[in-house]
């Protein structure tokens, strides 16, 4: 790819801020961003949800304007551009790759890739050459006459990449390019981006997944609208505590010699004995065992619903066993979502209101809550059910709503206690497929189940017997 010639970096941000005004309240999405992107670089902007990543990418892509600071693209001040000039720069110099692919359903693969080129009044022969070359790069020439609906998610994202590179832009901006893909297709798309970078493309990618941030070099981390520097130990700690592991490699959850017991006569009855367990970020762990083995008790402790136990519990390196109840509850609300066997929906609230409920416990504005809920309803394909009450739904539909409620706050971990126990086989499979998809997208899942078919969805299984972890079960 070719970039405009410039003496300095391709992109240079100095003191960039972004402030949103909602209901007379100022929300500082970006605060004093200093950033340079050199030609030929593959930069990852990583961090937890809400840290300002997508806002920053929108400014870089000229889709939004900063509230303050300076933005230079190829040494040219962006602030001086008119709306039409900004549109022209976007079309010629910037290629976009979106999480949702953003392909037009009634256009073929070829026509989708060709579309941005038509706005340049480019001769048909040149357009054909560029489209063909772009599709060859992503290995999709054999699908050029197909429509998006005839493609898998991974294939659609490849077409989106082809559309982005077809115009030979100065820089590719990728907003969570693997967000709607399973782990296999996600890695395939990242391999493709890495190949494009090796061929000379400049790429700036937003991601919440540390696995994919490692494909880039360099990478920066955002937290609360600030770039986290290596020297800023406090900010790095806050970033990690927010659910993003800058360094990687440490378990998300670590239990050491955890025990739970009750007094019985002159002795004690043990529910859990010397439980030592690590749960990695992105893991899908199944806990199995007979009734009374301690499964649900262990899940309650992991979810910080039970504080009466001994031993050590670390969550994101935070010592849960040393926390006060209030602090544990805050950690629970921020990072953990629950799915119960009996759904636990509130009968006097609609589907939309049940899903919104976890957000009401947080400092989230009503408009933002409604927007998030609308997105979840669409994602789970239950928009038509939003005004219904739980009693008007089937068991499978109720559990689907319960899962939607669990993920609405974008938890780091989902704890599922017999999530298919009250469902027939077909409904149970739908719920397990959904949990597997969430895990493929990066959510850590710990499930309790007695069903071997459900256990097989996980990456690994442990058995509990009389409160002891026994030999792992086959998965």
Run of H or E residues at 352: helix 351-360
Helices 124-137, 153-166: inter-axial angle, 10-degree rounding: 130
287-312: average pLDDT: 90
211-221: average pLDDT: 78
Nearest to 211 by CA among 163, 276, 112, 283: 283
In the block, residue with structure tokens 């806002």: 55
Sign of CA dihedral 312, 337, 400, 437: negative
What pLDDT was estimated at residue 3? 43
What is the Cα–Cα distance from 418 to 451, expressed in whole angstroms?
Answer: 9
What pLDDT was estimated at residue 2? 45
pLDDT band of residue 301 (cuts 50, 70, 90) is very high
User: Is 468's pLDDT higher than 70?
Assistant: yes
What is the Cα–Cα distance from 428 to 399, expressed in whole angstroms?
Answer: 9
User: Is 230's pLDDT higher than 70?
Assistant: no
CA distances for 473 relative to 253, 293, 297, 423, 445, angstroms: 20, 15, 20, 24, 17
Structure tokens belonging to residue 278: 């690590």
Structure tokens belonging to residue 101: 């692919």
What pLDDT was estimated at residue 22? 64
Tell me if 319 sits within 8 A of 330, measured CB to CB: no
pLDDT band of residue 370 (cuts 50, 70, 90) is confident
- Select the more confidently predicted residue: 161 or 51: 161
Does 80 sit behind a cis peptide bond, omega within 30 degrees of 0 on the bond before it?
A: no
User: Is 187's pLDDT higher than 60?
Assistant: yes
Q: What percent of the chain has pLDDT over 70?
A: 90
pLDDT band of residue 223 (cuts 50, 70, 90) is low
- Could you tell me which residues are beta bridge partners of residue 17? 68
Tell me if 7 sits within 8 A of 75, measured CB to CB: yes
Domain ranges of the chain: 11-241, 253-469
> Same CATH fold, 253-469 and 11-241?
yes
User: Is 224's pLDDT higher than 70?
Assistant: no
Q: Report the topology of domain 253-469.
A: Rossmann fold (3.40.50)
What pLDDT was estimated at residue 302? 95
User: Is 192's pLDDT higher than 80?
Assistant: yes
What pLDDT was estimated at residue 409? 81
User: Cα-atom radius of gyration of the chain, to the nearest Å?
Assistant: 25
Question: For the ranges 26-30, 53-57, 277-281, 325-329, which has the lowest average pLDDT?
Answer: 26-30
What pLDDT was estimated at residue 144? 92
Other Cβ atoms within 10 Å of 320 Cβ, number: 21
Run of H or E residues at 233: helix 233-241
State the greatest distance between any 2 C-alpha atoms of the chain, in Å, as a whole number: 91
What is the Cα–Cα distance from 246 to 87, expressed in whole angstroms?
Answer: 36
> What's the CATH class of domain 11-241?
alpha beta
452-474: average pLDDT: 81
What pLDDT was estimated at residue 178? 85
pLDDT band of residue 7 (cuts 50, 70, 90) is low
pLDDT band of residue 1 (cuts 50, 70, 90) is very low
- Select the more confidently predicted residue: 374 or 24: 374
| Cβ-Cβ contacts under 8 Å for 471 (sequence gap 6 or more) | 463
What pLDDT was estimated at residue 20? 79
What is the Cα–Cα distance from 302 to 316, expressed in whole angstroms?
Answer: 12
What is the Cα–Cα distance from 358 to 362, expressed in whole angstroms?
Answer: 7
């Amino acid at each position: 790819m070719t970039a405009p010639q410039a003496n300095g970096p391709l992109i240079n941000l100095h003191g960039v801020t972004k402030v949103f005004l909602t209901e007379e309240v100022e929300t500082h999405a970006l605060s004093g961003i200093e950033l340079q992107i050199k030609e030929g670089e593959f930069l990852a902007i990583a961090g937890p949800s809400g840290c300002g990543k997508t806002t920053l990418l929108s400014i870089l892509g000229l889709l939004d304007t900063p509230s303050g600071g300076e933005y230079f693209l190829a040494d040219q001040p962006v602030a001086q551009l008119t709306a039409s000039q900004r549109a022209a720069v976007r079309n010629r110099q910037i290629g976009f790759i979106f999480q949702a692919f953003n392909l037009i359903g009634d256009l073929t693969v070829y026509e989708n890739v060709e579309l941005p080129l038509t706005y340049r009044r480019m001769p048909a022969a040149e357009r054909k050459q560029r489209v063909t070359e772009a599709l060859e790069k992503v290995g999709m020439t054999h699908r050029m006459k197909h429509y998006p609906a005839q493609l898998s998610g991974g294939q659609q994202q490849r077409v989106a990449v082809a559309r982005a590179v077809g115009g030979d832009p100065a820089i590719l901006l990728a907003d969570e390019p693997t967000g709607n893909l399973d782990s296999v297709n996600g890695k395939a798309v990242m391999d493709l981006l890495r190949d494009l970078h090796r061929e000379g493309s400049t790429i700036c990618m937003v991601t919440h997944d540390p696995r994919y941030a490692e494909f880039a070099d360099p990478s920066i981390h955002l937290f609360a609208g600030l770039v986290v520097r290596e020297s800023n130990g406090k900010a790095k700690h806050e970033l990690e505590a927010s659910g993003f592991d800058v360094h990687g490699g440490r378990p998300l959850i670590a239990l050491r010699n955890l025990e739970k017991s009750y007094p019985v006569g002159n002795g004690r009855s043990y529910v859990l004995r010397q439980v030592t367990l690590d749960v990695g970020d992105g893991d899908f762990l199944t806990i199995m065992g007979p009734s009374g083995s301690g499964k649900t008790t262990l899940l309650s402790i992991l979810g910080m619903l039970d504080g009466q136990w001994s031993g050590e519990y670390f969550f994101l390196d935070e010592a849960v066993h040393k926390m006060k109840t209030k602090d544990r509850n805050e950690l629970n609300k921020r990072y953990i979502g629950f799915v119960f066997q009996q759904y636990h929906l509130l009968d006097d609230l609609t589907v939309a209101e049940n899903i919104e409920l976890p957000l009401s416990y947080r400092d989230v504005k009503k408009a933002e809550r409604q927007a998030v809920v609308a997105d979840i309803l669409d994602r789970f394909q239950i928009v038509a059910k939003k005004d219904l009450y739980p009693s008007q739904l089937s068991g499978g539909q109720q559990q689907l709503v319960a899962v939607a409620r669990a993920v609405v706050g974008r938890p780091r971990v989902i704890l599922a206690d017999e999530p298919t126990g009250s469902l027939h086989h077909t409904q149970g499979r739908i719920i397990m497929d959904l949990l597997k998809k969430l895990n493929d997208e990066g959510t850590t899942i710990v499930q309790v189940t007695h069903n071997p078919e459900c256990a097989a969805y996980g990456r690994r299984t442990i058995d509990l017997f009389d409160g002891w972890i026994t030999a792992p079960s086959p998965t």
